[in-house]
A and B are shown apart, each in its own frame.
Chain A
Amino acid sequence: MYKYLSNIFEAISTLFTGMGVTWGHMMKIRKENVTLQYPEERWPRPERDIGFNMENYNVIRSRLHVDIDDCIGCLKCERVCPVQCIKINTVKVETKGEDLTDISHTGITSNGTKKALIVSRFDIDMTECCYCNLCVYPCPEECIYMTGGPNSHKQPIDYEFSQYDRNDLIYKFAKDVEDEKMSKYLPQQKQVDE
């Protein structure tokens, strides 16, 4: 009998303790809510300081971006990608380090390296990207990076990079050049000449 009653008493008291916890939370909702009203508010929350500044981040893994003018076509990122979502085609150029205005090719990167290759294709399939950030490290020119965070000054973060078509998520970073102009530099053309 004692056990029976104490059991009931224990049940009631613990249940009331639990209800007290939820009541406390309900009363403090104005201060303690954690909701982010997404389209209006974005991370990090503007009005609340929880210790994170954009400068504080090491990196934000959002979306890959390539500064194609700096790319020297070394294929390091393509090789290191675990899911093969980067595809690069390059064309050798005779005039190393010179601007080719007709295909808007810059000869010298912002780091001062002379480019020996034209990057004719630089596709990143973001549907396959696993956001491992591995391609960012080996890049000698630091031209492939994740947008946002410490890179916001170069490329702001793209919160909703959603598309209606799957193919639109294949990002083509290479300069959009007509085939005619490009064909001048293609190796096959040269072989024919010889």
Chain B
Amino acid sequence: MTVDNLINWFPFGAEWPVITFVSAVLICAIPVFLFIAVYALVAIYGELKISSFMQDKVGPMGQGVGLHAGKWGLLQPVADALKLILKEDIIPESADKKLFILAPFVVFVGAFITFAALPFSQEIIVADMNIGVFYILAVSSLGVIGIILAGWSSNNKWSLYGAMRSAAQIVSYEIPAGLSIITIVMLTGTLSMQGIIISQQGIIWGFLPNWIIFNNPFSFIAFFIFFISGVAECNRTPFDIPEAESELVAGAYTEYSGMRYAFFFLSEYANMFVVSGVAVAAFLGGWNSPIPGFMDSPPWGLFWFIGKSMSLIFLMIWFRWTFPRLRVDQLMSVCWKVFLPVSFVNIFGVGIWNLLVG
């Protein structure tokens, strides 16, 4: 379901190229948006429930009378979303109104356009670019501009703190994330997401699926570096210093409420999916079945991809509800003193490995 296919498929493509292009993009974008919305509800529900279970609670439950949140609180995220949409939209008087309004959309767009290069299954991908990995790395850091806008335009010291921290953090963690992706590119020799996944078909070491994470010890480490950097890019605990509710109230989002806050929320969850999706595609075989040949047809590809991504999201939730938060300088030192050197060692190691084994 790539955009290119759609454009080719339209009969009047040659006459009205603009209309064709826009409609092709819209046809792809609307399902993706719906997917994000539905996925966010599921993820919020999952977060509520998993965090509750980890904390010896039962989470949202709806038994008995009145306006309860459905069986097992299934309607809780819907209720949350409705509440956020219906709430009064407050813009502080001293805020920079235009930027204040713009910020949540910039953040969301940053997360949203990344989905264009996520390979959901053999066929379902919006645009199978030959520079897919590069594209994702490039656009995923767009969100930080939105956070800086939000922080600056709120005209609030907490927001500004949050924004500055966020900028420093996301920009720094781009580097180890990018460097660990480079190891993939070295191993597979392609920048296309589908290409990377296709190269992971089959079996390695006799019994393991031929996923890059199992390919060699360096790629195994690279996965963790990428994933943890991804967690940091999503501003999730233990790297949630831009939000840091015990220090900065709500960081960059302090002054936001209602719908606009919901957009930040949505983009946080969308970002989580992006990070997990890229990690799955790059290291965990994408839409390939964990048992090669078993349930490996295209419809199952979608299941495997989302399933694997969700398990990584579960891991993020698990992190969040277990760990304390790092301090901003420690966050930086973890990035620059641990992840960065290890990534370089990884690149070097993968190169050697390719030379000797591969």
B321-A22 in contact (CB<8A): yes
Which A residues touch B319, using CB under 8 A? 19
CB distance from A27 to the nearest CB of B (A): 8
Q: Is the CB of B56 within 8 A of A8?
A: no
Q: Which residues of B contact A21 (CB under 8 A)?
A: 322
Q: In whole angstroms, what is the CA distance A21 to B322 when docked?
A: 8
Enumerate 14 A-B pairs (CB-CB under 8 Å) in ascending A order.
Answer: A8-B338, A15-B323, A23-B54, A25-B53, A25-B55, A26-B54, A29-B58, A35-B57, A35-B58, A37-B58, A37-B61, A37-B63, A39-B65, A40-B64
Would you list the 9 A-B pairs with minimal beta carbon distance, nearest first?
A22-B54, A29-B53, A26-B53, A35-B58, A22-B322, A40-B64, A35-B57, A26-B54, A18-B322
Q: A8-B338, A29-B58, A33-B57 are in contact. Are A19 and B322 (CB under 8 A)?
A: yes
Instruction: Give the complex CA separation of A29 and B57 in angstroms.
Output: 7
**Residue total for A at the interface (Cβ-Cβ under 8 A):** 17
Within 18-75 of A, Cβ neighbours of B (below 8 Å) are at: 18-19, 21-23, 25-26, 29, 32-35, 37, 39-40
Beyond contacts A29-B56, A29-B58: 12 other A-B pairs, Cβ-Cβ < 8 A, are A18-B322, A19-B322, A21-B322, A23-B54, A25-B53, A29-B53, A33-B57, A35-B57, A37-B58, A37-B63, A39-B66, A40-B63
CA distance A26 to B47 in the complex (A): 12
**Shortest distance from the beta carbon of A181 to any chain B beta carbon, whole Å:** 44
Chain A residues lying within 8 Å of B52, measured Cβ to Cβ, are 29, 35
Give the interface of A toward B (CB within 8 A): 8, 15, 18-19, 21-23, 25-26, 29, 32-35, 37, 39-40
The complex places the Cα of A35 from the Cα of B51 at a distance, in Å, of 13
In angstroms, Cα B58 to Cα A25, docked, is 12
Give Cα distance in the complex from A29 to B52, angstroms: 9
In the complex, the answer to whether A34 meets B57 with C-beta atoms within 8 Å is yes
**Please, how many angstroms separate the alpha-carbon atoms of A21 and B318 in the complex?**
11
How many A-B residue pairs have C-beta atoms within 8 angstroms? Tell me: 46
B65 (CB) vs chain A CBs: closest residue: A39
Determine if B50 is an interface residue (Cβ-Cβ < 8 Å). Answer: yes
Q: Indicate whether A34 sits within 8 Å of B56 (C-beta atoms), given known contacts A18-B323, A22-B318, A39-B65.
A: yes
User: Once the chains are docked, how many angstroms separate the CA of A22 from the CA of B56?
Assistant: 9
**Contacts of B64 on A, CB cut-off 8 Å?**
37, 39-40
Q: Is the CB of B318 within 8 A of A32?
A: no
Please judge, given known A-B contacts A8-B338, A39-B65, A40-B64, whether A25 and B322 are in contact too, CB under 8 Å.
no
| Residue among A22, A23, A32, A40 with the highest chain B CB neighbour number at 10 A | A22
Q: Nearest Cβ in chain B — how far from A29, in angstroms?
A: 4
1/0 contact string of B54-74 vs chain A (CB within 8 Å): 111110010111100000000
How far apart sit A37 and B52, CA to CA, in the bound complex (Å)?
14
- Return chain B residues, CB-CB under 8 Å to A18: 322-323
Taking the closest CB of chain A, its distance from the CB of B10, in whole angstroms, is 50
Q: Which residue of chain B has its CB nearest to the CB of A39?
A: B64
- B66 shortest CB reach to chain A, Å: 8
Contacts A8-B338, A29-B58, A37-B63 known; A19 to B318 CB distance under 8 Å? Answer: yes
Within 8 A of A (CB), among B303-323: 318-319, 321-323
Contacts of B53 in A (CB 8 A): 25-26, 29, 33
- What is the minimal beta-carbon distance from A9 to any residue of chain B, in angstroms? 12
Contacts of B54 in A (CB 8 A): 22-23, 25-26
Question: A32 contacts B338, CB within 8 Å?
Answer: no
Nearest Cβ distance between residue A38 and chain B, in whole angstroms? 10
Q: Give CA–CA (A32, B56) in the complex, Å.
A: 6
Give min CB distance, A2 to chain B, whole Å: 15
